[in-house]
Structure 1
Amino acid sequence: MTDVTVVRADNPGPMTLDGTRSYVLRAPGSASCVVVDPGPDVEGHLATLAGAGPVEVVLVTHRHADHTAGSARLHELTGAPVRAADPAHCHGGEPLRGGERIDAAGLRLDVLATPGHTADSVSFVVTGPDDVPVVLTGDTVLGRGTTVIAEPDGSLRDYLASLDVLERAGDGRVGLPGHGPALDDLGEAVRAYRAHRLERLDQVRAALAGLGRDPSTDDDLADAVVAQVYADVDPSVRRAARQSVVAQLAYLADAPA
């Protein structure tokens, strides 16, 4: 099976859970490796990744700094190209394209465009020789908790479509998220995520009906909905909840009558 090593960054917090997970991947017996998500710009963390063996390529799931801040330094340490969907986070490598296949370290890595958390979010289906694939999901599906639809480019409509993509790719397969523990069955986790999102949408609709207002993304309405729908969330993640409400209101505003 694919050799997967998790190198967890020491950056725990409300949004990063127990820390960002960088992945070192290789086929059994391969001297070289692939790194997915360099993580924060922490020298010890990056030195561990660089020391895992010759790095053929570094792949990035999305633009957030807890996944990308160490990219330039890891490129310096290893010489390996860093590839991301957003050209701003590429270093010596071409932007990733949805549907692309990458062959490295004895592995096949298929790039899935999975926007929604951010516009540039991608996932990777990783297959070794005669192996059952595993799916790296970045922040699109986490090991525990739920994912924020992040401003300014997150989209709930895109996110729900990306869940469909990941359900097909991950049914009965292990999911490896950017934060939190591995998921034994990614398809099952995706179905739970979808049910949660649809339940939240129903709660937002009910809040709007109670407020007597139409969907909108104006500040006052978003704050009023957060107060009703997310009243029980910890203050440390209230800003993230608000971002998701803005995305929910935009989704409802664009929904067919």
Structure 2
Amino acid sequence: MARMAEPPYERAEEVAPGVRRILAGNPSPFTFEGTETYLVGTAEIAVIDPGPDDPRHVDAILAAVGGGRVSAILCTHTHRDHSPASRALAEATGAPIIGCAPLAISDDGPRADAAFDFDYAPDRVLKDGDTLEGEGWRLAAVATPGHTSNHLCFAFGDILFTGDHVMGWSTTVIAPPDGDMADYMASLDRLLARDDRLYFPAHGPAVEKPRAHVRALITHRRMREKQILERLGQGIGRIPAMVETMYRAVDPRLHPAAGRSVLAHLIDLERRGLIGREGEEWTLRA
């Protein structure tokens, strides 16, 4: 059997006019092949999602910059596979760290992604609709809470850098207490109303049919909600038992994280008055 080619770690690849991508060497069951950092511009460069605290990745970014100048370092959110390299990159280039708000939240549950980056300290926080410009490019912040409460996407013409809100290889895990299913669904509806041509996510391949992809994500979440209500109707009221039957085809290493998304659905259903709970047992409301 032919050996699969190794992903192009720490090499800059042009993926669109004025856009290059560098794949960090942090593959895992939660990050797919790794975190994808994007460089927008050539002479004056914006770096989107600088990635994990890995000197090799920072060196790869600096090598790709070459004779250009980094004028902005942008972060979609503050998980440790996305924002920590911002500090080393800022130190090396003098560029400001710009983007999502800082977020520090205690969360002891099993996560499907890296924990929060408590040391993230932006020089400028972008709000929904705020813009940033450099030579040959203009980026606009699009607030997309849900995966995290501080998540931003960045629009570049008809291209949207989607961070972890929309990924190219898997559905996004919504992990309470910061992850919120109602916010996530509302953010998907917001993207559905846009007219983007192409998504560049932080994990997985580009999404070439954004609206169809977003519709599929919405359908998937509605299907999961239906499955949960069916299990509750069958008297299955605890999360581990739900995960065992709902995620049979999923890598068991991801089951604890899947349980967090189930919890996010349950919290949303409870807020809507459809279900209740006592301790760890969830039930349908009459």
TM-score (norm 2): 0.80
Residue 59 of structure 2 corresponds to residue 59 of structure 1: no
What is the deviation of 1:184?
0.7
Unaligned runs of 5+ in 2: 1-15, 104-118, 275-286
Partner of 1:94: 124
- 1:66 counterpart SS class: coil
Partner of 1:33: 45
Partner of 1:185: 209
Partner of 1:218: none
Partner of 1:162: 187
Unaligned runs of 5+ in 1: 128-132, 214-220
Runs of 4+ in 1 over 6 A off after TM superposition: none
Match for residue 14 of structure 1 among 29, 34, 41: 29
Which one-letter code corresponds to 1:224 in the other structure?
A
What is the deviation of 1:182?
0.4
Q: What does 1:90-169 align with in structure 2 at a 5 Å threshold?
A: 91=121, 93-127=123-157, 133-169=158-194
Contact 1:71-1:91 at 8 Å conserved across structures: no
More strand by share: 2
What is the deviation of 1:66?
0.3
Query: After superposition, what is the alpha-carbon deviation per residue over 1:10-51, rounded to whole angstroms, capped at 9, x for unaligned?
Result: 01111100100000011xxx4111000010111121122123
What is the deviation of 1:90?
5.1
Match for residue 233 of structure 1 among 239, 243, 250: 250
More helix by share: 1
- 2:205 counterpart SS class: coil
Which one-letter code corresponds to 2:87 in the other structure?
A
What is the deviation of 1:256?
4.5
Percent of aligned pairs sharing the same letter? 39
What is the deviation of 1:235?
1.4
Partner of 1:207: 231
Query: After superposition, what is the alpha-carbon deviation per residue over 1:165-193, rounded to whole angstroms, capped at 9, x for unaligned?
Result: 1122245x110001000011211110111
What is the deviation of 1:2?
3.8
Partner of 1:84: 99
Contact 1:81-1:91 at 8 Å conserved across structures: no
Contact 2:84-2:120 at 8 Å conserved across structures: no
Contact 1:135-1:169 at 8 Å conserved across structures: no
- 1:57 counterpart SS class: strand
Contact 2:78-2:102 at 8 Å conserved across structures: no
Q: 1:170 to 1:20 in 2, by over 3 A?
A: farther
Partner of 1:224: 241
Contact 2:102-2:122 at 8 Å conserved across structures: no
The separation in 2 between residues aligned to 1:136 and 1:236, in whole angstroms, is: 28
Worse overlay, 84-93 or 45-54: 84-93
- 1:17 counterpart SS class: coil
Contact 1:75-1:91 at 8 Å conserved across structures: no
Q: 1:164 to 1:240 in 2, by over 3 A?
A: same
The separation in 2 between residues aligned to 1:99 and 1:83, in whole angstroms, is: 14
Contact 1:37-1:67 at 8 Å conserved across structures: yes
Partner of 1:47: 59
- 1:45 counterpart SS class: helix
Contact 1:17-1:180 at 8 Å conserved across structures: yes
